[in-house]
Amino acid sequence: MPAASLASSSAQAAAQSFDVRPFAEKVGAEIVGLDLSKPLNDADFARVHQAHLDYHVVVFRDQQITPQQQIDFSRRFGVLQIHVLKQFLLANHPEILIVSNIVENGQPVGLGDAGKYWHSDLSYKELPSLGSMLYAQELPSEGGDTLFADMHRAWDTLPEHLRKAVEGRSAVHNYTARYSEGHNAASWRPTLTPEQLAQVVEVTHPIVRTHPENGRKALFVSEGFTTRIVGLPEDESRALLQEIYDHSVRPEHIYRHHWQANDMVFWDNRSLIHLAAGCPAHLRRKLHRTTIQGDAPF
């Protein structure tokens, strides 16, 4: 839908009655009673936007939406980013990445090992992701949880010696850092073409970033994509990063999402890192992801 049409429909949309219910973990909230198949008026959208900023991850319950409706809602927050693995994009909807462990006719239908390491989506880009929306299509009967770690809280509680070690420093992020590692990696991770490699050249970002909307500082490194700290010897960089990783994912920083049918989860990649906990290989799991472009970290 063109941007002008979206703006017009949102201005005319009827108000909806919904609740924002924070989780006990102090990160995350569920939004109940909102129907994302209908355009949101500006006031309702503002409530959702504020909840996303306040709680960093929001769970929209009981959604029945089409791929295009997911795309249209995602675009309310910004430009959408297209994943480099084009073979796993939804047909006729390249804005949607299929995240799935399903194999049909010997070929994976989606990216089956997405999120196996803690990471912030697309931190390996010059303009990393603002946020991602993941919409459940098929869920396993056991497993399949997604964990989110609050990187604002990780920074706020970082020991003083680690603060001094990382303040003002930058780190390198690279999509291919762990691209082929792990069980069944070859089946989920096709060899990248020269054109694809050109889209994921390594970038450098500050280790401590300032959120452009809430003004809070957050750690911005992860085991999935961060390869080294600029200006430090390799062994010293590796040891320091490991200390930060260990601190970031302490239990008190984490919300664990147990998926329910028709959940759509929207998280802030500027505030959180996340991890897919995995599920038994024989149980089908499929979700649709849209990713919203953010700003250059500062």
Q: Catalytic annotation on 282?
A: no
Q: Catalytic annotation on 288?
A: no
State the catalytic residue, choosing from 119, 205, 257, 288: 119
State the catalytic residue, choosing from 44, 121, 150, 268: 121
Q: Catalytic annotation on 54?
A: no
Q: Catalytic annotation on 289?
A: yes
3-state secondary structure the chain: CCHHHHHHHHHHCCCCCCEEEECCCCCCEEEECCCCCCCCCHHHHHHHHHHHHHHCEEEECCCCCCHHHHHHHHHCCCCECCCCCHHHEECCEEEEEEEECCEECCEECCECCCCCCCECCCCCCCCCEEEEEEEEEECCCCCCCEEEEEHHHHHHCCCHHHHHHHCCCEEEECHHHHCCCCCCHHHHCCCCCHHHHHHCCCEEEECEEECCCCCCEEECCCCCCEEEECCCCHHHHHHHHHHHHHHHCCHHHEEEECCCCCCEEEEECCCEEEEECCCCCCCCCEEEEEEEECCCCC
State the catalytic residue, choosing from 209, 270, 274, 288: 274
**What residues act catalytically?**
119, 121, 274, 289
